[in-house]
């Protein structure tokens, strides 16, 4: 694929990741648009080591960090249930409530854990690419993912896989 084809192929994943991070469609679209403009304007800066997709995720995350630095303190906004349901499967009211509960739990995660978890789950990045995008060692990424998953389980009332059944350690 050519550079432009790789950029175009990354857009849906970038949109999902931006939406999961900021939980506001307009803001997510602006973030993706800014990232695309930056990537195209700085096409000559891409060194060719790694995928264009991972490079695009790095740009998006850096753009978000820039926004957050300018807007501190930044307060997260919950995505409406209807918008959350549109990103996954639609179903019974229980599924909507569970989805809302997970969304609230995600908002309560520290930003470094939330970004790592969403980059791997929503963004579909490999551990190596996610670590490169976040500019951390893979071991640190794996620790963040583990802590994020453990915290999410606790926040939504699910047993940890480290615990036995019925509260047995």
pLDDT in the model for residue 95: 66
Residue 72, Cβ neighbours under 10 Å: how many?
7
Q: Is residue 157 very low, low, confident or very high in pLDDT (cuts 50, 70, 90)?
A: confident
pLDDT above 70 covers what percent of the chain? Answer: 77
130: closest CA among 34, 53, 32, 49? 53
Lowest mean pLDDT segment, chosen from 34-38, 44-48, 113-117:
44-48
Count, residues in the chain: 169
In order, the DSSP letters of 108-124 are: HS-HHHHHHHHHHHTS-
Encode pLDDT of 6-39 as tens digits: 999 999 999 999 999 898 999 999 999 999 999 9
């Amino acid at each position: 694929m050519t550079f432009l084809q790789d950029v175009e192929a990354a857009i849906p994943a970038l949109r999902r990741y931006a939406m999961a991070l900021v939980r506001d469609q307009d803001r997510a679209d602006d973030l993706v648009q800014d990232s695309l403009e930056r990537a195209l304007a700085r096409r000559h800066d891409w060194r060719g080591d790694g995928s264009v997709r991972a490079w695009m995720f790095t740009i998006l995350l850096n753009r978000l960090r820039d926004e957050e630095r300018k807007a501190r303190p930044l307060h997260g906004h919950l995505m409406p249930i209807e918008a959350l349901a549109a990103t996954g499967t639609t179903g019974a009211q229980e599924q909507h409530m569970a989805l809302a509960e997970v969304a609230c739990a995600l908002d309560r995660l520290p930003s470094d854990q939330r970004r790592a978890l969403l980059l791997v789950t929503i963004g579909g990045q490999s551990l190596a690419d996610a670590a490169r995008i976040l500019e951390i060692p893979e071991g640190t990424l794996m620790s963040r993912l583990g802590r994020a998953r453990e915290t999410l389980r606790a926040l939504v009332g699910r047993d940890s896989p480290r615990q036995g059944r019925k509260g047995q350690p």
